[in-house]
């Protein structure tokens, strides 16, 4: 019998280079799953949130119920949200995505609606005076002016989604959360720390990417400040 | 629908309400964790926020703190704490994680509330000869109360959610009913637990909503 190797894995250290090199593929797979789940749910959330916010802006009676429902959804803790969706989706990636969509919906609808409401009435009237119809007004005046607020909401929703994906580990689809969950059960310190740090890095990278995108698509906000 | 009926049957079974794993004990645990940690977080965050807001310093810190709090996964922090020496004192990791995630919204909201007090009012109070302490307690604090209380409300909802997640890392509270349900592969129990947690969270939100309605007009603010 050979003596057990005396490396950082055997000593169960927090920071371990051998872990990174020997588990590269596992980490990469979890990372890809994490990013996919986040991207998909925020994208679906955005596709649903924009019409909801526009409708709530157009018919003011709809704003109250839409905001109330999304606030209630946001109050429900993530573990309970995923559990409530279990009978509908079973143990699947769809469950995690559906739960995350519901959360991002709240943040996105609130922010887009706030952005649309902040469009000055004079601007709207000026556009109408130039002969803009309601659709053209919405697409070329109101939505672009609501972009900064919408992008702020998108950034918050994305960062929150990255962190909430980890809870998906309860159904086996949690991206890096799976590694944290497995690492907890085996007291594997290097795995828990590495996966946690990667989670934060994804969140920061996504935030910076969206910030860059925001600057590219809303150049007038910088010009006004300068 | 049949799952909901099964979840309802699970909740209605008196055997599930008693004992250490029973709903009553878990509910109490959840309530105690939430209330104790809310008080603890307020004791830590509010004095710091009030002093920083009064002096007008550390704004970047106060605002960035809540962004950082959002980016760090609660579940990861719970597990990391469980694996550190803190993990050996029973509910230690849960309490530390709960406080860590409740402090940022408290701090940020209280700080922003202090800074949003009309500067003209502050200058008038100074002109009347108020000392720094009088200014803080008689002018700035009352005027920043609406935002400050909003922070307490956000923190409370956050605490309920974090306390639920603590069950994944072996902590107590209502989340345990859900995780036990997953381990038993019992969907009715999972859904029943989730209904309890969701109900608890909505009741907490409702309590704050009612308190806000009943509060005197000046504490509600003009927002």
In a domain, A207, yes or no: yes
User: Mean pLDDT, chain A, as a whole number?
Assistant: 88
> Is B190 close to A76, i.e. CB distance below 8 A?
no
Write out chain B residues lying below 8 Å of A83, CB-based: 178, 181-182, 190-191, 193-194, 197
Domain containing B78: what range?
2-220
Nearest to B104 by CA among B67, B71, B55, B153: B67
In a domain, A60, yes or no: yes
Q: What is the mean pLDDT of residues B43-50?
A: 92
Task: Name the minimum distance, in Å, from the CA of A181 to any CA of chain B.
Answer: 8
User: Is 90 exceeded by the pLDDT of residue A111?
Assistant: yes
User: Is 70 exceeded by the pLDDT of residue A158?
Assistant: yes
**pLDDT value for B218:** 64
User: Is 80 exceeded by the pLDDT of residue A77?
Assistant: yes
User: Alpha-carbon distance A55 to A66, whole Å?
Assistant: 9
User: Alpha-carbon distance B124 to A67, whole Å?
Assistant: 39
Residue pairs between chains A and B whose CB atoms are closer than 8 Å: 126
Residue A105 to residues A29, A63, A184, B69, B118, Cα–Cα distance (Å): 27, 14, 31, 20, 34
In a domain, A38, yes or no: yes
Binned at pLDDT 50, 70 and 90, residue B1 comes out as low
Residue in the block written with tokens 């579940």: B75
Q: Mean pLDDT lowest for which of A138-147, B86-95, B127-136, B183-192? A: B86-95
Contact B104, B66 (CB under 8 A): yes
Write out chain A residues lying below 8 Å of B178, CB-based: 79-80, 83, 170
**pLDDT value for B152:** 92
State whether residue A41 sits within 8 Å of chain B by CB.
no
In a domain, A122, yes or no: yes
Binned at pLDDT 50, 70 and 90, residue B221 comes out as low
In a domain, A176, yes or no: yes
Write the residue in A77, A184, A200 that is nearest to B79 by C-beta: A184
Residue in the block written with tokens 């890095």: A201
Residue B20 to residues B30, B92, B166, Cα–Cα distance (Å): 13, 19, 17
Find residues 57-76 of chain B whose CB sits inside 8 Å of chain A.
67, 70-76
Q: What tens digit of pLDDT does each residue of A120-135 get? A: 999 999 999 999 988 8
User: Alpha-carbon distance A177 to A189, whole Å?
Assistant: 14
Write the residue in A77, A86, A163 that is nearest to B160 by C-beta: A77
Mutate one of B4, B5, B72, B79 to test the A interface: name it (highest A CB count within 10 A). Answer: B79
Find residues 47-106 of chain A whose CB sits inside 8 Å of chain B.
72, 75-81, 83-84, 86-87
User: Alpha-carbon distance B161 to B98, whole Å?
Assistant: 9
Q: Which residue of A has its CA nearest to B200?
A: A76
User: Alpha-carbon distance B145 to B86, whole Å?
Assistant: 35
Write down the pTM of the prediction: 0.86
**pLDDT value for A58:** 87
Binned at pLDDT 50, 70 and 90, residue A68 comes out as confident
State whether residue A183 sits within 8 Å of chain B by CB.
yes
Nearest to B7 by CA among B198, B184, B191: B191
In a domain, A43, yes or no: yes
User: Is 50 exceeded by the pLDDT of residue B223?
Assistant: no
Phi–psi pair at B56, nearest 5 degrees? 75, 30
Binned at pLDDT 50, 70 and 90, residue B106 comes out as very high
In a domain, A92, yes or no: yes
Q: What is the mean pLDDT of residues B146-164?
A: 89
3-state secondary structure of B23: helix
User: Is 80 exceeded by the pLDDT of residue A18?
Assistant: no
Q: What is the mean pLDDT of residues A178-203?
A: 89
User: Alpha-carbon distance A79 to B166, whole Å?
Assistant: 10
Task: Name the minimum distance, in Å, from the CA of B201 to any CA of chain A.
Answer: 6
Length of chain B as a residue count: 223
Binned at pLDDT 50, 70 and 90, residue A71 comes out as confident
Total domains present in chain B? 1
**pLDDT value for B23:** 86
Domain containing A109: what range?
27-217
State whether residue B82 sits within 8 Å of chain A by CB.
yes
Find residues 119-178 of chain B whose CB sits inside 8 Å of chain A.
157, 160-161, 164-165, 167-169, 175, 178
Write out chain B residues lying below 8 Å of A205, CB-based: none
User: Is 60 exceeded by the pLDDT of residue A47?
Assistant: yes
User: Alpha-carbon distance A140 to A132, whole Å?
Assistant: 9
Residue B143 to residues A214, B11, B43, B111, Cα–Cα distance (Å): 34, 45, 20, 12
Contact A175, A138 (CB under 8 A): no
Neighbouring C-alpha atoms within 13 Å toward the C-beta of B157:
22
CATH code, domain with B192: 1.10.3720.10
State whether residue B17 sits within 8 Å of chain A by CB.
no
Percent of chain B, pLDDT > 70? 96
Full 3-state SS string of A124-177: HHHHHHCCCCHHHHHHHHHHHHHHHHHHHHHHHHHHHHHHHHHHHHHHCCCCHH
Tokens standing for A78? 């993530």
> Is A79 close to B80, i.e. CB distance below 8 A?
no
Instruction: Select the more confidently predicted residue: A15 or A111.
Output: A111
Total domains present in chain A? 1
> Is B80 close to A183, i.e. CB distance below 8 A?
no
Mutate one of A74, A77, A201 to test the B interface: name it (highest B CB count within 10 A). Answer: A77
Neighbours of B197 (CB within 10 A): 30
Q: What is the ipTM of this complex?
A: 0.84
CATH code, domain with A117: 1.10.3720.10
Write the residue in A83, A164, A192 that is nearest to B194 by C-beta: A83
Q: What is the mean pLDDT of residues B55-59?
A: 83
**pLDDT value for A190:** 86
């Amino acid at each position: 019998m050979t003596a057990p190797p005396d490396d950082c894995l055997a000593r169960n250290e927090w920071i371990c280079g051998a872990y990174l090199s020997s588990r590269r593929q596992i980490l990469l797979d979890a990372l890809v799953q994490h990013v996919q789940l986040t991207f998909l749910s925020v994208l679906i959330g955005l596709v649903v949130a924009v019409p909801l916010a526009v409708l709530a802006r157009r018919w003011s009676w709809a704003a109250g119920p839409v905001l109330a429902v999304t606030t209630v959804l946001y109050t429900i803790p993530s573990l309970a949200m995923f559990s409530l969706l279990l009978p509908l989706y079973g143990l699947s990636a769809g469950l995690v995505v559906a739960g995350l969509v519901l959360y991002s919906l709240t943040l996105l609808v609130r922010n887009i609606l706030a952005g649309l409401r902040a469009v000055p009435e004079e601007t709207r009237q000026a556009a109408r005076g130039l002969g803009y119809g309601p659709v053209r007004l919405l697409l070329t005046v109101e939505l672009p002016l609501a972009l900064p607020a919408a992008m702020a909401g998108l950034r918050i929703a994305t960062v929150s989604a990255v962190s909430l994906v980890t809870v998906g580990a309860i159904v086996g689809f949690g991206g890096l959360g799976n590694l944290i969950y497995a690492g907890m059960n085996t007291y594997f310190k290097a795995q828990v720390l590495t996966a946690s740090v990667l989670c934060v890095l994804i969140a920061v990278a996504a935030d910076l990417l969206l910030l860059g995108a925001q600057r590219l698509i809303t150049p007038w906000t910088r010009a006004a400040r300068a | 629908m049949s799952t909901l009926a099964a979840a309802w049957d699970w909740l209605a079974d008196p055997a599930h309400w008693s004992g250490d794993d029973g709903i009553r004990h878990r509910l109490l645990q959840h309530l105690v964790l939430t209330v104790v940690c809310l008080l603890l977080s307020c004791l830590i965050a509010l004095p710091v926020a009030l002093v920083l807001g009064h002096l007008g310093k550390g704004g970047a810190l106060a605002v960035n703190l809540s962004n950082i709090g959002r980016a760090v996964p609660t579940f990861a922090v719970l597990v990391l704490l469980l694996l550190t020496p803190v993990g050996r004192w029973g509910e230690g990791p849960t309490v530390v994680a709960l406080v860590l995630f409740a402090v940022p919204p408290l701090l940020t909201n209280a700080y922003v509330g202090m800074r949003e007090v009309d500067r003209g009012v502050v200058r008038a109070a100074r002109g009347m000869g108020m000392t720094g302490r009088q200014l803080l307690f008689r002018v700035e604090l009352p005027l920043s109360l609406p935002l400050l209380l909003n922070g307490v409300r956000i923190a409370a909802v956050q605490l309920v959610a974090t306390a639920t997640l603590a069950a994944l890392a072996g902590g107590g509270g209502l989340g345990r009913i859900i995780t036990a349900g997953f381990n038993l592969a019992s969907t009715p129990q999972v859904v029943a637990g989730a209904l309890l947690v969701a109900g608890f969270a909505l009741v907490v939100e409702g309590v704050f909503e009612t308190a806000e309605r009943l509060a005197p007009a000046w504490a509600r603010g003009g927002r």
